[in-house]
Structure 1
């Protein structure tokens, strides 16, 4: 059997220095020669599986740090940043970027962090929403401790065997002396939920559909019973402004609600059994398309990973109002980017239909990635007015072969729709955007 291997010199060198060991001492502990360790540290020899096991056992080493480049989007993410016009005169090619990442991953991560903080034009002021999003992306939208705590609570309440909404409402009543009350829209103008501690009520607008009501009840249960986990994560995000911390806290509270309604193992098992069929998942977990899409971006538990999806939400004007990269490696598009040929835009003309499309895009990347995407519209009720949004799920096409929604769709890159880098910076003469409807395949 061939032994798997990888280049991990910088990580091993940092570990040795952290332990205060010479190369000779560490080599003796691992049962290898100092010269061989020296070659490994210089990336002239791979770290074999056998040696990796020794490192893990003797030094309490977390092997996930060997994939630390994933946090910056790997080689593609670094190439994207190096493609900035400010570096155009340096002639940096993909091979040179790859050497930089392999030889000095921490330095590459520092460059990426500085680049992302500075912003593309170097003049983006404080943006609490962007700050919170970057913190979420550092976790790849997977909060392991919070997920496990919510899963344990879901098992305790036996949510899989009962009316989820009723069971959670009963939990609020018994543990927190809070009742759930549905109120007319005119009583709650412009809001969908309100916690009235004086009346001991969680008040919900009648405009919320069933899935949204259940989500709000789960959210309140999570906010009360998983408060310590939520606050620990918020403090660990190291955000500089109260508004950014509030945005981050709001996200992880929503995360807790989704983890209660769609507990990790049961949800992942359902995904694998159904080919990630979003229609079945909606019915099985009594959740909306939007809720399923968000949950699919979180499946990164060590040893139990799901497919790496991203999701995004668009308003009727075409502006992106939410983006979650998960572990997909997708990059938040530039401000003002518009891709009218993409299915999220065509979805507005096919209300309620599930649209699928294979595309290529990647802002500034040397080789745009090949994606399989799924989109449909959702109705947002209970706010100042009813509004329709378009939600899209995306997955690299190389992972999409077993997806239920990908059956009958060509995953050959030659058949994908090239989206470029977004309308403001594209300038392509052969743009396909005038005919978005013929580019999407509709299905129920």
Structure 2
């Protein structure tokens, strides 16, 4: 794999200032000269692996965190924005982006903020156009989808419930009844048409549809318990996000309530221990914690407790048309799930035809990163008796260099030479002569040869 210079000046400067250290003090701690540290902080020198490890030890953080703190999300983050059609005529390549980040990191960050906010003028005033879903996702990724206070509260409650009963669903139901005067009632689909869960405060009932499977029933009950007993922690996180949009606030609150429920079903320390004992074998984790495949997959993206971190998985959920309904990068910083489109050569698109089988694949992106992915089809809850049950594909993945201990990677050749080359959708992919190509890449001039027909109808000028 080719070495890429890693610039993290802005992130290092924030770490130093947060610790109330001067450049001289930090340089002394790292055994380098203050002038060299100054060059690093100004992105005029890359960060070496040795210094990265020293910084991680000094400030007790995950080294991968610095990649997320690169101005504008680093080369990949800025390149994704420059793929917008408004920049098509500029043909800006990755080399230019790297030079820009090196020479003017703050200017790059300013560009990203302006691009994301999409300022528009109306009657002489500027209005910011926000997508509440993207705002919430940005806040979740700022926390790397790990909320330590919620995890701790859920873990303590899980231990308390476990002492009273081995059956978690029964223990939650009893807790709701005794402490909060709320009962759980499972009702026929005809009584709750097109509804999976309803809280009837007049009757003091949590009403659940019979269409929910056992894992989903427990999850819904856990959500309500979390909304009541972790209200202070959830309120604090929602307040700290400082959303101006009420839709974003409600979406974020819903995510945090679901996060607490997952943490209650799969308490952090026990779940991480089970992951390490089983090689992250998802089917075993499902059985051991009474959870669904999707619930386990999501939980795997949250294991970032300081001093007890799990592997940095990403997760994505798509439908048959490729539309994304969930994506969590966690601590993986994976460009694979950030793109608006995906490559059909990634086998996540094939799992719908074999819904009970877990598919694995080693893939390589154009930036030379290699990822080990795990995919499986799951069914949603139907619309009632005889109703259509929605289908989704769940994709999990992590850097191939970390995948050797996985159960699902046993017997697999994880060398980059064995990886399937894929792209981030045809418009963003510049791999030549791909027979699966459906559109030419942006920022590339199409070439024509009337005397020869290639594997693809789009031949283009490469770098």
Gaps of 5+ in 2: 1-5, 120-126, 439-463
- Go from structure 1 to structure 2 and tell me whether the alpha carbon gap of 1:124 and 1:342 turns closer, same or farther (over 3 Å shift): farther
Question: Which residues in structure 2 correspond to 1:123-142 (within 5 Å)?
Answer: 125-142=129-146
Q: In structure 1, what is the Cα distance between the partners aligned to 2:357 and 2:30?
A: 62
- Go from structure 1 to structure 2 and tell me whether the alpha carbon gap of 1:204 and 1:13 turns closer, same or farther (over 3 Å shift): closer
Which structure is higher in RCO with an 8 Å CA cutoff and minimum separation 6? 1
- What displacement does 1:432 show? 4.6
Q: In structure 1, what is the Cα distance between the partners aligned to 2:30 and 2:273?
A: 45
Deviation sequence 1:194-219 (CA, Å, 0-9, x none): 11111111110001011111111111
Deviation sequence 1:393-431 (CA, Å, 0-9, x none): 111211111110112333232332233221455586423
**Which of 34, 40, 44 lines up with 2:37 in the alignment?**
40
In structure 2, the partner of 1:437 is none
Q: In 1, are the aligned partners of 2:301 and 2:313 still within 8 Å (CA)?
A: yes
- Go from structure 1 to structure 2 and tell me whether the alpha carbon gap of 1:396 and 1:124 turns closer, same or farther (over 3 Å shift): farther
Q: In structure 2, what is the Cα distance between the partners aligned to 1:414 and 1:22?
A: 45
In structure 1, the partner of 2:68 is 70
Higher helix share: 1
Question: Which residues in structure 2 correspond to 1:196-207 (within 5 Å)?
Answer: 196-207=200-211
Gaps of 5+ in 1: 1-5, 435-444
RMSD: 3.7
Q: In 2, are the aligned partners of 1:314 and 1:320 still within 8 Å (CA)?
A: yes
Deviation sequence 1:74-122 (CA, Å, 0-9, x none): 554455556667387486644x755765787666555444444449xxx
- Go from structure 1 to structure 2 and tell me whether the alpha carbon gap of 1:423 and 1:188 turns closer, same or farther (over 3 Å shift): farther
In structure 1, the partner of 2:408 is 405
In structure 1, the partner of 2:420 is 417
- Structure 1 counterpart SS, 2:421: strand
Q: In structure 2, what is the Cα distance between the partners aligned to 1:116 and 1:368?
A: 27
Q: In 2, are the aligned partners of 1:222 and 1:257 still within 8 Å (CA)?
A: yes
In structure 1, the partner of 2:172 is 168
Q: Does 1:312 align with 2:316?
A: yes
Using the size of structure 2 for normalisation, the TM-score is 0.77
Q: In structure 2, what is the Cα distance between the partners aligned to 1:65 and 1:373?
A: 22
- What displacement does 1:266 show? 0.8
- Paired residue total: 412
- Structure 2 counterpart SS, 1:217: helix
- Go from structure 1 to structure 2 and tell me whether the alpha carbon gap of 1:189 and 1:98 turns closer, same or farther (over 3 Å shift): same
- What displacement does 1:343 show? 2.4
- Structure 2 counterpart SS, 1:135: helix
Using the size of structure 1 for normalisation, the TM-score is 0.80
Q: Does 1:371 align with 2:368?
A: no
